[in-house]
Amino acid sequence: MYKKTVAELLAALADRTISSVELTGLFLARIERHAGLNAYITLEPERALADARAADALRLQGGDAPLLGVPIAHKDIFCTEGVRTTCGSRMLESFIAPYDATVTARLKAAGAVLLGKTNMDEFAMGSSNETSYFGPVANPWDTGRVPGGSSGGSAVAVAAGLAAAATGTDTGGSIRQPAALCGITGLKPSYGRVSRYGMIAFASSLDQGGPMTRSAEDAALMLQAMAGFDPRDSTSVDRVVPDYRATLGRSLKGLKIGVPTQFFGEGLSPDVRHGIEQALDVYRGLGARIVDVELPNSRLALPCYYVLAPCEASSNLARYDGVRYGYRTPGHESLIDMYKKTRAEGFGAEVKRRILIGTYALSAGYFDAYYVKSLRLRRLITEDFAHAFERCDVIAGPTAPSTAFPLQAKTDDPVAMYLNDIYTIPVNLAGLPAVSLPVGFDRLGLPVGLQLIGRYFDEPLLLNVAHGYQQETDWHRHFPPEFE
């Protein structure tokens, strides 16, 4: 059962092949058995089983809900009432959220059963899940390699059968890149489609929550429950949520897939390139047309992002000062000393690095040279996508330049680490939706991910294009051999 998709589990629950209590117990047992992956920070076994019993009782009474009885996990960045919410940081190690994030509340209302909170890079800052205060997460395809980040714990939970689905957040690729490295499907919705209320902020103009699942159909089911306007979030868009599952299965004949020449230059692994080319051949077989498009300013996305995101992080993380909540240093001589020591002891190295970069770029002498110039570059990158979509319906390319790399291989070289997001960051800067899906393996047996990018709020088409590929192939059904 742990290998089945959410759609298949819902069918099994509906026809009483298995109960939610049995299914939840199965996942909890697997989490305990494979604790070495370090996918979870906090487990909620008693709560999960109680919710599962309630789901079974509701089903017996003839009640229903879109995800009734399905065990899922939340990235530990979503506030969950009464449950520890750490954001992977010492700063929030003991923080018990007093309310539910909108995403948490909506999935609860949809009947999903919460197994626990997954590990993540500290405050979502990282591409390998090695910056977590609670230790690195291991990739189930090779436990000596990274799962990607920052939503690495969620990706591993789904890939290794430790949850039927999970939530993640994506600021510069943090859903799609770990999805690619772990061989699952990860969807970053359009900015404003999913509420950010109760989602601990990293970079407010870039962060977006989304689902991490085994298939595009499952992503549609999860997004259906997560999406929608929220008056408590000023960045939430008041727009009707379509039936994402209803459009799956439509013909791809005549679909125009744009392939940016800039995504296939120096730095792309030959194995990844081969996997993407094979995937495009599948789409040709389905009647799609492949056309060349240009994203000339995409090469500027990385430096643009690593000015804007740290600037916003510097502002958002100023609230962690030891006064109101979170970690407070036990020894201090004055208020200023408490501020300094609390932040020095509570934040990890990567978070400090980004705060310092952001504070520097926002300072009076450098604001125009760095922050304002980056905003202008962001506009150019957004316009590039608009021009590209005049020639195509979706854009395709690699999710990451390589497959999963060894643990600690890039921890001493921040620039090399940042380059892992080179293909995903432009999407966040433009606020577009994108999905990563598995399209094969490299010579070491590690998953390769294809990224599909859509127009604003065109998730239905994006999911249908991903689903069409998965109906023709079975890469999304492959499972890490050591975790069968």
183-208 confidence digits (pLDDT tens): 999 999 999 999 999 999 999 999 99
- CA pair distance 44, 56, nearest whole angstrom: 18
Check pLDDT > 90 for residue 420. yes
Query: In percent, how much of the chain has pLDDT > 70?
Result: 100
Look at residue 397 and tell me if it is in a domain: no
Q: Check the CA dihedral 209-215-216-220 and report its sign.
A: negative
- CA pair distance 292, 311, nearest whole angstrom: 35
Q: What is the pLDDT of residue 331?
A: 85
Q: What is the pLDDT of residue 343?
A: 97
The region, left, alpha or beta by phi > 0 then psi within -120 to 50, assigned to residue 363 is beta
pLDDT tens-digit profile of 2-22?
999 999 999 999 999 999 999
Domain with residue 179: its CATH number is 3.90.1300.10
Task: Report the pLDDT averaged over residues 264-271.
Answer: 94
Write the DSSP symbol of residue 130.
-
Contact at 8 Å (CB) between 350 and 317?
no
- Categorize the per-residue pLDDT at 236 as very low, low, confident or very high, splitting at 50, 70 and 90: very high
Show which residues are catalytic: 75, 150, 174
Check pLDDT > 90 for residue 213. yes
Check pLDDT > 90 for residue 484. no
Number of domains in the chain: 1
Q: Three-state DSSP class for 463? A: helix
Q: What is the pLDDT of residue 156?
A: 98
Look at residue 366 and tell me if it is in a domain: no
pLDDT tens-digit profile of 350-369?
999 999 999 999 999 899 99
Look at residue 126 and tell me if it is in a domain: yes
Question: What residue numbers bound the domain in which 122 lies?
Answer: 6-255+459-483
Task: Report the pLDDT averaged over residues 395-423.
Answer: 95
In this prediction the pTM is: 0.97
Look at residue 96 and tell me if it is in a domain: yes
- Categorize the per-residue pLDDT at 260 as very low, low, confident or very high, splitting at 50, 70 and 90: very high
Q: What is the pLDDT of residue 332?
A: 87
Q: What is the pLDDT of residue 149?
A: 94
Mean pLDDT of the chain: 97
Look at residue 59 and tell me if it is in a domain: yes
- CA pair distance 458, 460, nearest whole angstrom: 5
Look at residue 293 and tell me if it is in a domain: no
Look at residue 297 and tell me if it is in a domain: no
Look at residue 383 and tell me if it is in a domain: no
Q: What is the pLDDT of residue 20?
A: 98
Q: What is the pLDDT of residue 282?
A: 98
Task: Report the pLDDT averaged over residues 99-122.
Answer: 98
Written as one string, the DSSP assignment of 271-295 is: HHHHHHHHHHHHHHHTT-EEEEE--
Q: What is the pLDDT of residue 104?
A: 98
Contact at 8 Å (CB) between 261 and 299?
no
- Which residues, listed in sequence order, are joined to residue 450 by a DSSP beta bridge? 398, 437
